[in-house]
Structure 1
């Protein structure tokens, strides 16, 4: 008996040392990247086997010395798409949406599809970026409104795309699309009979107590400032109810780990199976619903990036090894991706 107790205690000690070594390496990676980009603010939340760790470097902005914390608010950009995909998967589980059905069955009646599009685009095509629909011309939006280009996206613009697109030349091919997630937002609103902001609050933010994750009202003394790739000041995107489902949430490391916990929960598996199934795959990329699927040897990691004009972030998780990570940075450069790539090598 004493022999078995000794072995058990030794294993616990070894696992504890290994876990601590991993956390130390993760912190070292973040610190090195912070030193390479001394003006950038970085906030990282990491969960492994239900234990949370936070790593914060830099300041909220470049005009004072207020330090970044795990509660500092960043734009999460297109990681919002993962929230939208999760809401779609919930409706699938409730039997209100079939991913193989075409969007004609679910879009609000005020949209009219060109005859060339009718009964051709599946719901899963929208969520996996293979609908073939043309996306908004971001360059033109920037020319009209360089600081707030998304202000120019309207329901009428969406309607025009659906009415004036007569064929889907790239259908079934990967083409990253914001309009696809705008349409998923309208589908949710039509099914639930509520606006997107209320849907995401009532189904995710409030139940998970993600009280710092913001939609319209995000002002406060914990909000970071954004900076473009050249280091110039860049305001957060305004909340626009049309394009919001594609990328307008603001959040922090504390709240985002709550969402990652939801993605790691075994009792959430029915919904996760919808998100994590492969809907598109070629030589370069594999996609679930709102997720990139990364495979290395026998390891499968699910990830989503988020980039705005002034901030960049990465979310990733591995249900099998029970870890998840959120990396938030307040400059639109490659730092978040570099940190993730280096940490990814350690975790695998």
Structure 2
């Protein structure tokens, strides 16, 4: 067997076959436990058609697109299925999908471009460009950096701010309200936050004097020739060759919701095709260059694609930890290789994933137009198994599907419970009617609706019908990216003296901020 030696080529590290000798061996950090035999990657590529078709048949998802890059070239790009149930249009390698949280890795490379250009550094404090930005702790507000926010170590709670977007607040309004969220210890706590991440990216856009979508175009999409890629929903919406997202309806997939993610565009708002994303993967795997053309400075890119924060502490001494870079999951896989990855999911009907093996110069991306069932992650895992081991090691769909089931599960403590048979009576409905307010969520109106009540919440003002539960407790059915169909929320009114002084919405109370005081 030939030995591998690490050879410096420009600023990138490449592996070359050289005669075996002790001094030619790569240093220990570069050694993988399992060698990849000649032709094994190509053999894995030949299996993709049948693997993709099998996953689609098993899950029922309408459409999928897949691409593979190897040594800087696209070696596979293909579409499967249809763009929309009930229409004949087929998915191909140029069909545009919403990437969901896979957008974070793309955003990480946009910021790396700006770092390489010298406009910012990863350690630039965010308030340098967003002087109005604050978190609950004044010291953290002064010191939190682009790197802190894009590695999810700011102390913000998990998915902090997402509910604000659900009820209609725009990016600036959500970011301003992050100051009211409780914080975990700074730089030693990991919690995945779309709007924390977005805040870091927004500071970079301001430093460039551009909006985020334009910066992404200028720094990345145009130089890479990604003509079908955008960080604006309006661009996705006007594409002729695009998918429609699907959710389960009466036992099969159907189009029902359309996610508009501009508020968190850096974290979840990219749309693209697998042909375009293959160019991006090739650039990352080639250390910031594409077809010999420099796109991102390698030294600026390296922090984004290397471990910066422990995202998954070891559950046992023999278990490998997980890490996060700046928009990338970074792990050591069972073959002993560094693996870069990210998944994306919209409960409104999209699921995506990529996996890259830098030491092998290979990456795969999988995009689908159905809510998250684990299919993109499973196909990527099956492929990387074949690349490294020559066989599929386990039932990856079962493994990922079990974890992702929680993403789709309806929320609320009353889900699955029967209504009380003999509930305590409510007060007069007119006693509940009025305007209530919260510093975090803004204004809530309780209004009459037919014979009953409804709640109107946030800038969107969408009404939700209230149904009496017990005493001064009512229920409604929220419907949003963070509350899938079937979710139930309590709305509990509390008396102060002779009138109702507040109402608490269970669906908004995760961080203890779901109580609205009567005006």
**Partner of residue 43, structure 1:** 65
- What does the per-residue CA deviation read over 1:135-171, in whole Å, with 9 as the maximum and x for residues that have no partner? 43545654x4xxxxxx433412311222x34754465
CA–CA distance in structure 1, aligned partners of residues 256 and 329 of structure 2: 27
- What does the per-residue CA deviation read over 1:232-275, in whole Å, with 9 as the maximum and x for residues that have no partner? 424442252x4211111111111111111111224553233121
Structure with the bigger percentage of helix: 1
**Partner of residue 9, structure 1:** none
Which gives a bigger RCO, structure 1 or 2 (Cα 8 Å, sep 6+)? 1
- Residues 1:202 and 2:218 are matched in the alignment: yes
**Partner of residue 270, structure 2:** 249
Give the TM-score of the pair, scaled to structure 1.
0.84
Q: Is the 8 A contact 2:61 2:369 kept in 1?
A: no
Shift of 1:87: 2.0
**Partner of residue 377, structure 2:** 337
Give the TM-score of the pair, scaled to structure 2.
0.58
Residues 30 and 95 (structure 1), Cα distance of their counterparts in 2 relative to 1, 3 Å cut = same
- Residues 1:291 and 2:328 are matched in the alignment: yes
Shift of 1:128: 1.0
1:117 aligned counterpart, secondary structure:
helix
Q: Which runs of 5+ in 2 are unaligned?
A: 1-36, 290-295, 315-320, 389-519
- What pairs with 1:133-282 in structure 2 (closer than 5 Å)? 133-134=156-157, 135-139=159-163, 142=166, 144=167, 151-162=168-179, 164-165=180-181, 167-169=183-185, 171-214=187-230, 215=232, 216-218=234-236, 219-228=238-247, 231-238=253-260, 240=262, 242-266=263-287, 267=289, 268=296, 269-281=298-310, 282=313
- Residues 1:71 and 2:94 are matched in the alignment: yes
Structure with the bigger percentage of strand: 2
**Partner of residue 47, structure 2:** 25
- What does the per-residue CA deviation read over 1:264-317, in whole Å, with 9 as the maximum and x for residues that have no partner? 224553233121221112224211111011212331111111112211001222
Q: Which runs of 5+ in 1 are unaligned?
A: 1-13, 145-150
Shift of 1:19: 4.6
Residues 271 and 96 (structure 1), Cα distance of their counterparts in 2 relative to 1, 3 Å cut = same
Q: Is the 8 A contact 1:84 1:184 kept in 2?
A: no
1:159 aligned counterpart, secondary structure:
helix
Residues 48 and 160 (structure 1), Cα distance of their counterparts in 2 relative to 1, 3 Å cut = same
1:276 aligned counterpart, secondary structure:
coil
Residues 54 and 76 (structure 1), Cα distance of their counterparts in 2 relative to 1, 3 Å cut = same
- Residues 1:87 and 2:110 are matched in the alignment: yes
- What does the per-residue CA deviation read over 1:53-77, in whole Å, with 9 as the maximum and x for residues that have no partner? 1232211111122211101111001
Which segment drifts farther, 45-54 or 206-215? 45-54
2:378 aligned counterpart, secondary structure:
helix
- Residues 1:117 and 2:140 are matched in the alignment: yes
CA–CA distance in structure 2, aligned partners of residues 225 and 73 of structure 1: 10
1:28 aligned counterpart, secondary structure:
helix
Number of equivalenced pairs:
324
Residues 301 and 313 (structure 1), Cα distance of their counterparts in 2 relative to 1, 3 Å cut = same
**Partner of residue 343, structure 2:** 305
